[in-house]
Amino acid sequence: MPERRTVALVTLGCARNEVDSEELAGRLAADGWELVEEAADADVAVVNTCGFVEAAKKDSVDALLEANDLKDHGRTQAVVAVGCMAERYGKELAEALPEADGVLGFDDYTDISDRLRTILSGGAHVPHVPRDRRKLLPISPAERQGAAVALPGHGDAAAPGPSPADLPDGVAPASGPRAPLRRRLDSSPVASVKLASGCDRRCSFCAIPSFRGAFVSRRPSDVLGETRWLAEQGVKEVMLVSENNTSYGKDLGDIRLLETLLPELAAVDGIERIRVSYLQPAEMRPGLIDVLTGTEKVAPYFDLSFQHSAPGVLRAMRRFGDTDRFLELLDTIRARAPQAGVRSNFIVGFPGESEADLAELERFLVAARLDAIGVFGYSDEEGTEAATYENKTDPETVAERLDRVSRLAEELTAQRAEERVGETVRVLVESVDGEDGPVGRGAHQAPETDGQTFLTGLTGSSQLSVGQMVEAKVVATEGVDLVAEPPPDVVWGCSESSEEAGA
């Protein structure tokens, strides 16, 4: 019997990467690997990198170098890069960063166990030469479902996985041709589920489609099956993620498939909240707004990718809309759900952006009343159309505009939080043992990006535990965070169940 090896997965970047890490964990656990939390305790540290923007790439390199340092004074014998940066640069990354003992692309995920064993035994893995992954799939979306292309988070296109009887506890069985093995890497009551992969949009600033590929939906049965399994693992909130959730179903023959799927997901036993992320304003439709604002257990939450609001800048970005159209969309949403949560990201300093364009963006931000705002300064991304544009904004001006809009965003989101004082919010409790007491999130607050809700004023005889849903009245704010009081018969207590859930 081969020696049991240990592996740690270090995940950087977005929620999509977190799903990919749990698929890799499922594959490794099914093949006999022991998963450990700390890289220092592992024979091999697998770093799931982010390749989106320069800052994220730097963080990924730093994480690889930090893991490499463990080889000098710990158990760690090998450091392996996977994820978006590894896929995007492949051989180039391997040559530039010899501290990584292996650089694995998406095509290696199916054989991740063999790859790691080879590297640990001193064998060499030849890194891939990157390709534009959009070209690996048919142009017609309807022909993509049967293509034998590696899609992280989707499982294998052809070969079935091991039977459930052969899997260790805590690993989700692959129940269909595109259903992944999965092993949870934490005990949070929140988990992401991939709705699709890739993107067919051609935003001039974005390189993601080139290494994530063209848009491919997961089948509803696979999404439902994975959600049911997560509910069995104690998950209460599922966040649907992809590069573009509003396109879901277009390659399955029904662009309105999300409207059908959401009520089915909300009906899964044990699930208390379904959240949809990554929505494109230009693809929003009345039926989808109705389902997002009118379905029990579906959060009225809108993660809308506006990016800017000045029409000239948006056209240069290969995007659509303007300030007034975006405000009309928000009015439509709030007419159906006044407490709906809305967040978005924006780029300032895009090539050709004028002071008038920036003022137009500020006009939109002031009127939009967004709950969360991310602001990024433009920088060239290799391989994108915008990198070839002339009339670039100089770095000093980009930095000034970033600071200016970031300060405005901070002020506006704090004001929006203050508007919620007096509202009743449904809070999912995520921790109870910290110095802040019970902390959770309302329906308008996505994990890690949109603030938290601190529960206070607890009296009575009941006890809160991780994973519990509590209705509470907002009584104060701290920036974007809320302070809310549950009803008087609820009290915070570190019960045995809450300690186990937070472990």
The sheet with strand 78-82 has its strands ordered as: 34-35, 6-11, 44-49, 78-82, 102-103
CA distance from start to end of the chain: 32
203 is in an annotated binding site: yes
Q: In degrees, to the nearest 5, what angle opens at C-alpha 448 toward C-alphas 446 and 451?
A: 70
Contact 213, 136 (CB under 8 A): yes
CA–CA separation, 450 vs 421, rounded Å?
16
CA–CA separation, 254 vs 250, rounded Å?
5
Helix (H, G, I), strand (E, B) or coil at 216: strand
Q: Which helix (H) or strand (E) holds 95?
A: helix 91-96
Give, in order, the Cα–Cα distances in Å from 432 to each of 420, 484, 495: 23, 14, 10
84 is in an annotated binding site: yes
Helix (H, G, I), strand (E, B) or coil at 63: helix
Q: Which residue has the tokens 């099956």?
A: 225
Burial of 119 (0-12, 13-18, 19+ CB in 10 A): buried
Q: How many CA atoms, within 13 angstroms, populate the side-chain half-sphere of residue 180?
A: 30
Contact 278, 446 (CB under 8 A): no
Q: In degrees, to the nearest 5, what angle opens at C-alpha 70 toward C-alphas 49 and 26?
A: 50
494 is in an annotated binding site: no
**Tokens read off for 118:** 């080879």
14 is in an annotated binding site: yes
**Tokens read off for 23:** 């698929």
* Residue stretches of the annotated binding site: 14, 50, 84, 199, 203, 206
Annotated binding site for [4Fe-4S] cluster: 14, 50, 84, 199, 203, 206
